[in-house]
């Protein structure tokens, strides 16, 4: 079993009337990318601030096992805060170096590493410019560099994808995978499900301060019992009722003329179902894939509405908020 470098136990945090974090427990394994996921207001940043010891929990415990005493923790952690707060009138390279030195690097090491990172993040030609000459997305990349320059054992990144265009989101994914390959453990908070799904080893999905789902993608699929997603393009007529009644089928929709979308039951045999579909329709196109994280989340919410314990902790409002969050 991998070593757990962070353990969160029954943590709670209230703000006046809001229960921002409600008895949350999870652990992060050394070397993994762990994602804290949820819609706006889910409690992710509150959780991250408690992990960084910026605010204290009302109840519960947050423990690190990083081989250093509590007062030396910061040298092992990298932190990208949600509120981006760099000095706008400072030049880029000295800003990054300043943060490196603050975390124990020599000035020479910090300078060398900063140049390498600026190259990696496509910003090396801007090194001498002031921060406020950069776009928001590029400022975000500088703040990210500042948070990982000292090669932390554990990088805690609050919304690392926010403000980045698709090309830079991909660059961020590559960089995070590189960090993992070099042995850095990463915890990131986000609400972009597709991005997170592509890199996270394990996920903790929360809403309104509470746990919705927790585990690997395979574990989440098993937990909520989702089967394969099928999209069929066909010519001519379709007997929708025959699909609705089919024992392998959980959900059917016809988004437009000539198209069917189905979710099979987890235990359904794909081959037998496809044989049936080929007999029932003049199929032109066929797409079959495992349920996405977004689909899993929606399924968890549906189960919760039906009072099924597999979807416990989720609500209808969560779906609406998530749709907004995913944009």
Ligand X SMILES: Nc1ncnc2c1ncn2[C@@H]1O[C@H](COP(=O)(O)OP(=O)(O)OP(=O)(O)O)[C@@H](O)[C@H]1O
Footprint on this chain of ligand X (rule: CB under 6 A): 15, 18, 20, 38, 40-46, 82, 191
Regarding beta strands 33-37 and 202-207, do their DSSP bridges make them parallel or antiparallel, or are they unpaired?
Answer: parallel
- 23 neighbors 10 (Cβ within 8 angstroms): yes
Structure tokens at 70: 């509590």
Distance CA 273, CA 292 (A): 21
Q: Which is nearer to ligand X, 58 or 261 (by Cβ)?
A: 58
Nearer to ligand X, 46 or 314 (CB): 46
Q: How far apart are CB 70 and ligand X at their closest, in Å?
A: 23
Distance between start and end Cα atoms, the chain: 37
**Which residues lie below 8 Å from residue 264, measured CB to CB, with a gap of 6+?**
227, 228, 229, 230, 248, 249, 250, 270, 273
For residues 191 and 299, which CB has a smaller minimum distance to ligand X in the complex? 191
Question: Could you tell me whether strands 282-289 and 229-235 are parallel, antiparallel, or unpaired per DSSP bridges?
Answer: antiparallel
**Which token pair is 238?**
């379709």
Kindly state the smallest distance separating residue 207's Cβ from ligand X, in Å. Answer: 9
Q: How far is the CB of 217 from ligand X (least distance, A)?
A: 21
Measured from the CB atom, the residue of 14 and 112 that comes closer to ligand X is 14
Residues 201, 216 contacting (CB under 8 angstroms): yes
User: In angstroms, rounded to a whole number, what is the distance separating the alpha carbons of residues 214 and 16?
Assistant: 28
CA atoms of 101 and 111, how far apart (whole Å):
10
Minimum gap (Å) between residue 61 Cβ and ligand X: 19
CB of 78 to ligand X, least distance (A): 19
Q: Which two tokens stand for residue 68?
A: 């250093």
The residue whose two tokens read 């900063």 is 114
Query: Smallest distance from the beta carbon of 246 to ligand X, in angstroms?
Result: 40
Q: Judged by CB, which is closer to ligand X: 15, or 87?
A: 15
Q: How far is the CB of 191 from ligand X (least distance, A)?
A: 6
Within 10 Å of residue 133's Cβ, how many Cβ atoms?
12
Quick one: 37 or 260, whose CB is closer to ligand X? 37
Q: Do 68 and 235 contact (CB within 8 A), yes or no?
A: no
Of 42 and 179, CB closest to ligand X: 42
């Amino acid at each position: 079993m991998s070593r757990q470098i962070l353990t969160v136990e029954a943590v709670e945090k209230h703000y006046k009337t809001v229960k921002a974090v409600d008895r949350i427990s999870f652990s992060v394994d050394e070397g993994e990318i762990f994602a804290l996921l949820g819609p706006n207001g889910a409690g992710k940043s509150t959780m991250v601030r408690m992990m960084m010891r910026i605010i204290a929990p009302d109840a519960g415990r947050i423990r690190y096992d990083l081989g250093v005493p509590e007062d030396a923790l910061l040298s092992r952690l990298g932190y990208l805060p949600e509120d981006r707060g760099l000095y706008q009138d400072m030049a880029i390279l000295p800003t990054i170096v300043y943060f490196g030195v603050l975390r124990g690097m020599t000035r020479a090491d910090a300078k060398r590493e900063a140049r390498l990172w600026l190259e990696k993040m496509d910003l090396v030609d801007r090194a001498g410019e002031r921060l406020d000459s950069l776009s928001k997305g590029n400022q975000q990349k500088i703040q990210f560099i500042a948070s990982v320059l000292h090669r932390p054992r554990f990088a805690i990144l609050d919304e690392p994808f926010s403000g980045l265009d698709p090309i830079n989101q991909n660059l961020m994914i590559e960089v995070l995978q590189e960090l993992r390959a070099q042995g850095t453990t990463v915890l990131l908070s986000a609400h972009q499900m597709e991005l997170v799904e592509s890199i996270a080893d394990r996920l903790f999905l929360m809403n309104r301060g509470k746990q919705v789902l927790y585990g690997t993608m395979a574990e989440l699929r098993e937990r909520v019992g989702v089967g394969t997603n099928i999209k069929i393009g066909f010519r001519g007529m379709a007997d929708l009722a025959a699909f609705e009644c089919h024992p392998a089928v959980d959900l059917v929709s016809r988004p437009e003329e000539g198209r069917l979308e189905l979710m099979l039951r987890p235990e359904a045999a794909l081959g037998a179902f496809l044989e049936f579909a080929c007999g029932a329709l003049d199929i032109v196109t066929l797409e079959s894939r495992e349920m996405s994280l977004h689909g899993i989340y929606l399924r968890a919410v549906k189960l919760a509405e039906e009072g099924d314990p597999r979807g416990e902790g989720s609500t209808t409002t969560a779906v609406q908020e998530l749709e907004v969050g995913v944009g």
